[in-house]
Structure 1
Amino acid sequence: MKLNATPRLHAVMKEKGWTQARLAEESGVTQGSISRFDKNSRHGIGTFFLLQRRSA
């Protein structure tokens, strides 16, 4: 299943005042991974849940 999580990701980052670097630190993935995730328009649901769980 693919979904477009980028708008929600941007909303959460803005709400928390986080940069991509901070999200990477909080979620335990590299900033490069966050950047690639951000640039793709559709994402595997597993990646989305990983980021959500680690940054909640």
Structure 2
Amino acid sequence: MSKTHLEFGLEGEDLWICDRYSGNGTVARMLGGIARQCEAGRRYRVERGTRVDIGDQWFDVS
């Protein structure tokens, strides 16, 4: 994972993530096990309970 792997921010009350053209990619795993490979350069809204995989690391949105 590089220091520029992922961008995130708030739009109103919503948290969003955006893969910054990383080599390893970013995966958002929603509650219920649905995994979404994030397209580089596109923002994705993530809800509480989502696990975000960035390379071999991850964080949970709470």
**What is the TM-score with the length of structure 2 in the denominator?**
0.29
Q: Which has the larger radius of gyration?
A: 2
Higher strand fraction: Structure 1 or Structure 2? 2
Higher helix fraction: Structure 1 or Structure 2? 1
Q: Larger RCO: Structure 1 or Structure 2 (Cα < 8 Å, ≥ 6 residues apart)?
A: 1
